[in-house]
A and B are shown apart, each in its own frame.
Chain A
Amino acid sequence: MSAQKTTVEFNDKVVRQFLLASVIWGAVGMLVGVLIAAQLNFWQLNFSTPWLTWSRLRPLHTNAVIFALVGNMMFAGVYYSTQRLVKARLASDFLSQLHFWGWQAIIVSAALTLPFGFTRGQEYGELIWPINLAVVVIWVVFAVNFFWTLARRREPSLYVAIWFYIATIITVAMLYIVNHLSIPTSWTHSYSVFGGVQNALVQWWYGHNAVAFFLTTPILGIMYYYLPKAAGRPVYSYRLSVVHFWSLVFVYIWAGPHHLLNTSLPGWLQDLGMTFSLMLWAPSWGGMLNGLLTLRGAWDKLRTDPVLKFFAAAVTFYGMSTFEGPLLAIKSVNALAHYTDWIIAHVHGGTLGWNGFMAAGMFYWMIPRLWNKPLHSIALANLHFWIGLVGILLYVGAMWTSGITQGLMLNATTEHGTVLTYPNFLDTVNVIRPMMLMRVIGGALYLTGWFLMAYNLWMSVRGAQPVNGTIEVYDEEPAHNSPGSLSVSGWVLNAPVIFCTLGVGFACAWMFGGHFVSVAGLVGTMFCAVVAYTHFEARRKNWGDWYDRLLVSAMPFTVLTFVAVVAGGLIQIIPTIVIHRAANVEDRRQIPYTPLELAGRDLYVREGCYLCHSQMIRTLVPDVLRYGDYSRLGESIYDHPFQWGSKRNGPDLARVGGKYPNVWHLRHLENPRSISAGSNMPNFPWLLSNELDASTISRKIAVQRQLGVPYPQWTDAEIASSMDTQEKLIARDLRESGAYVAPDREIVALIAYLQQLGHFESVVPTGHAPSLAD
Chain B
Amino acid sequence: MFSRIVYEDSSAFFTVVAFAFAASIFITISWRAIRMRRPQVEHLENLPFLTPTPACVRDESQSRSAHAGSQTTSEDTPLH
B15 pairs with A247, CB closer than 8 A: no
A130 adjacent to chain B (CB < 8 Å): no
A433 adjacent to chain B (CB < 8 Å): no
B71 adjacent to chain A (CB < 8 Å): yes
Q: For A769, list chain B residues within 8 Å (CB).
A: 7-10
B46 adjacent to chain A (CB < 8 Å): yes
A233 adjacent to chain B (CB < 8 Å): yes
**Which residues 743-774 of A have a CB within 8 angstroms of B?**
765, 768-772
With both chains docked as a complex, state the minimum distance between the C-beta of B50 and any C-beta of chain A, in angstroms: 7
A368 pairs with B55, CB closer than 8 A: yes
In the bound complex, what is the Cα–Cα distance between A246 and B17 (angstroms)?
19
A374 adjacent to chain B (CB < 8 Å): yes
A575 pairs with B47, CB closer than 8 A: no
With both chains docked as a complex, state the minimum distance between the C-beta of B14 and any C-beta of chain A, in angstroms: 6
A369 pairs with B55, CB closer than 8 A: yes
**Which residues 448-492 of A have a CB within 8 angstroms of B?**
469, 471
Stretch at the interface among A40-48, A112-120, A271-279: A271-279
In the bound complex, what is the Cα–Cα distance between A632 and B35 (angstroms)?
51
Q: For A243, list chain B residues within 8 Å (CB).
A: 26, 29-30, 33
**Which residues 618-652 of A have a CB within 8 angstroms of B?**
619-621, 624, 630
Per-residue A-contact encoding for B42-58, CB less than 8 Å = 1, 0 else:
01111111111111111
- Can you add 11 more A-B contacts, CB < 8 Å, to A159-B48, A469-B51? A234-B49, A254-B22, A268-B12, A268-B13, A276-B18, A548-B40, A575-B11, A579-B7, A619-B2, A770-B8, A772-B10
Per-residue B-contact encoding for A483-527, CB less than 8 Å = 1, 0 else:
000000000000000000000000100010000000000000000
A247 pairs with B26, CB closer than 8 A: yes
A271 pairs with B15, CB closer than 8 A: yes
A85 pairs with B8, CB closer than 8 A: no
Closest to B80 in A: A234
Shortest 5 CB-CB distances between A and B: which pairs?
A: A232-B77, A234-B45, A84-B51, A619-B2, A246-B29
B15 pairs with A233, CB closer than 8 A: no
Given contacts A225-B48, A234-B49, A571-B14, contact A240 B7 (CB under 8 A): no
Q: For A159, list chain B residues within 8 Å (CB).
A: 44, 47-48
Given contacts A369-B54, A630-B2, contact A772 B8 (CB under 8 A): yes
Closest to B40 in A: A548
Q: For A587, list chain B residues within 8 Å (CB).
A: 5
B34 pairs with A239, CB closer than 8 A: yes
Q: Which residues of B contact A (CB under 8 A)?
A: 1-2, 4-15, 17-19, 21-22, 25-26, 29-30, 32-36, 40-41, 43-58, 71, 73, 76-77, 79
B8 pairs with A579, CB closer than 8 A: yes
**Which residues 273-304 of A have a CB within 8 angstroms of B?**
275-276, 279, 282
Per-residue B-contact encoding for A552-588, CB less than 8 Å = 1, 0 else:
0000000000001001100100010001000010110
In the bound complex, what is the Cα–Cα distance between A235 and B33 (angstroms)?
15
A363 adjacent to chain B (CB < 8 Å): no
In the bound complex, what is the Cα–Cα distance between A267 and B25 (angstroms)?
25
Contact count A vs B, C-beta below 8 Å = 159
Interface of A is mostly: helix
B22 pairs with A575, CB closer than 8 A: no
Q: For B25, list chain A residues within 8 Å (CB).
A: 246-247, 250, 564
Of the candidates B1, B35, B51, the one having the most CB atoms from chain A within 10 angstroms of its own CB is: B51
In the bound complex, what is the Cα–Cα distance between A181 and B30 (angstroms)?
37
A228 adjacent to chain B (CB < 8 Å): yes
A586 pairs with B5, CB closer than 8 A: yes
A714 adjacent to chain B (CB < 8 Å): no
In the bound complex, what is the Cα–Cα distance between A46 and B10 (angstroms)?
50
Per-residue B-contact encoding for A244-282, CB less than 8 Å = 1, 0 else:
001100110010000000001011110110011001001
Q: For B5, list chain A residues within 8 Å (CB).
A: 586-587, 765
Given contacts A232-B76, A234-B48, A368-B57, contact A240 B33 (CB under 8 A): yes
A242 pairs with B43, CB closer than 8 A: no
B45 pairs with A571, CB closer than 8 A: no
A586 pairs with B4, CB closer than 8 A: yes
A373 adjacent to chain B (CB < 8 Å): yes
Partner of A272, one of B14, B52, B53, B58: B14
In the bound complex, what is the Cα–Cα distance between A159 and B54 (angstroms)?
20
B32 pairs with A229, CB closer than 8 A: no
A711 adjacent to chain B (CB < 8 Å): no
Could you list some 8 contacts between A and B, CB below 8 A? A157-B44, A159-B47, A233-B77, A238-B44, A243-B26, A251-B22, A586-B5, A769-B10
Q: For B49, list chain A residues within 8 Å (CB).
A: 228-229, 234
B71 pairs with A374, CB closer than 8 A: yes
Given contacts A243-B30, A276-B22, contact A268 B11 (CB under 8 A): yes
Q: For B44, list chain A residues within 8 Å (CB).
A: 157, 159-160, 238
B22 pairs with A511, CB closer than 8 A: no
With both chains docked as a complex, state the minimum distance between the C-beta of B35 and any C-beta of chain A, in angstroms: 8
Q: For B21, list chain A residues within 8 Å (CB).
A: 567
B7 pairs with A373, CB closer than 8 A: no
With both chains docked as a complex, state the minimum distance between the C-beta of A299 and any C-beta of chain B, in angstroms: 16
With both chains docked as a complex, state the minimum distance between the C-beta of A252 and any C-beta of chain B, in angstroms: 11
With both chains docked as a complex, state the minimum distance between the C-beta of B36 and any C-beta of chain A, in angstroms: 6
In the bound complex, what is the Cα–Cα distance between A85 and B76 (angstroms)?
14
With both chains docked as a complex, state the minimum distance between the C-beta of A42 and any C-beta of chain B, in angstroms: 39
Q: For A247, list chain B residues within 8 Å (CB).
A: 25-26, 29
Given contacts A369-B53, A374-B58, contact A266 B6 (CB under 8 A): yes
